[in-house]
Amino acid sequence: MPMPSEISIQLPDDESALWQARLRAAGAEREAALAELHGLLLKASRFEIDRRRASLPHVRHGDLDDLAHQSADDALVALLGKLDQFRGDSRFTTWAYKFALLEAGVKVRRRAWQGREIPLEEEGWAALAGEDAELFAAIREEIGRALGPRQREVLVAVVLNDVPIDVLAERLDSTRGALYKNLHDARRKLREALGRRGFDLDLGRQEER
């Protein structure tokens, strides 16, 4: 067991430490750091929006740039609120980019679903009917018998209809955390119920996109 003096503590590199110092400063130095950081976040936001461009085929370039600016603005606010959490495990700029990528991803998903109805019914299970009619019938029975109403809504929307979890949270006036809990419980209950009937169904995981 290492002695306290032998424990290595990860410290921010010089550039990262300078970023933190400038952002905690006052006056012109802080304003300059904020402007520079916003520029980096805007670059990252534009990159992520361009990467997801195919999901917004009818959105004009100007509107996409507005989306990038909104993402950078919100990322900057979120980052400053968590500045004390930066521990130097990565470069400060790498850590900062993640805020922009997350905000841009969320905004693209929400824009893609804007005006679209979120399907909360079981039509999606019909895709399984042609593959295994017995499994399809068992699924239809168990989602109605084993799951609660909210668990059923979340499972159908996310797993079958590929609705982003943040979009669903907004429409259902809930939170991502609460819906992930509903989704986890629904998968577990449905898997157990089908297992008792001799089926082994992989319901997958919805990764953050």
Q: Are residues 90 and 147 in the same domain?
A: no
Q: Are residues 27 and 100 in the same domain?
A: yes
On whether residue 206 sits in a domain, the answer given is no
Q: What is the CATH number of the domain that holds 90?
A: 1.10.1740
**Range of weakest confidence among 3-17, 28-42, 106-120, 185-199:** 3-17
Residue 208 above 50 pLDDT? no
Asked if residues 86 and 20 have their Cβ atoms less than 8 Å apart, the reply is: yes
> What is the tally of structural domains in the chain?
2
Residue 127 above 80 pLDDT? no
Q: What is the CATH number of the domain that holds 141?
A: 1.10.10.10
Q: If pLDDT is split at 50, 70 and 90, which confidence band does 54 have?
A: confident
Q: Percent of the chain beyond pLDDT 70?
A: 79
Q: Are residues 135 and 167 in the same domain?
A: yes
Mean pLDDT calculated for residue range 4-30: 78
On whether residue 88 sits in a domain, the answer given is yes
Q: Are residues 93 and 172 in the same domain?
A: no
**End residue of a domain, out of 112, 143, 169:** 112
| Cα gap 104→148, rounded to integer Å | 33
Mean pLDDT calculated for residue range 123-143: 67
**End residue of a domain, out of 61, 85, 112:** 112
Asked if residues 156 and 203 have their Cβ atoms less than 8 Å apart, the reply is: no
| Cα gap 80→162, rounded to integer Å | 32
Q: If pLDDT is split at 50, 70 and 90, which confidence band does 209 have?
A: very low
Q: Are residues 108 and 21 in the same domain?
A: yes
Q: Are residues 191 and 157 in the same domain?
A: yes
On whether residue 69 sits in a domain, the answer given is yes
Q: If pLDDT is split at 50, 70 and 90, which confidence band does 77 have?
A: very high
Of 209 and 60, which is predicted with more confidence? 60
Residue 110 above 50 pLDDT? yes
Q: If pLDDT is split at 50, 70 and 90, which confidence band does 137 have?
A: confident
Q: Are residues 91 and 129 in the same domain?
A: no
Mean pLDDT calculated for residue range 69-92: 93
Predicted TM-score of the model (pTM): 0.61
| Cα gap 59→56, rounded to integer Å | 6
Mean pLDDT calculated for residue range 70-91: 92
On whether residue 205 sits in a domain, the answer given is no
Q: Cα torsion for 152, 154, 159, 162, to the nearest 10°?
A: 140
Mean pLDDT calculated for residue range 10-19: 81
Domain that holds residue 44: 10-112
* Average per-residue pLDDT for the chain: 81
For 116, what's the count of Cα atoms within 13 Å in the CB-facing half-sphere?
17
Helix, strand, or coil (residue 17): helix
What pLDDT, on the 0 to 100 scale, is given for residue 6? 45
Q: Are residues 126 and 107 in the same domain?
A: no
On whether residue 71 sits in a domain, the answer given is yes
Mean pLDDT calculated for residue range 165-175: 86
Of 124 and 148, which is predicted with more confidence? 148
For 94, what's the count of Cα atoms within 13 Å in the CB-facing half-sphere?
9
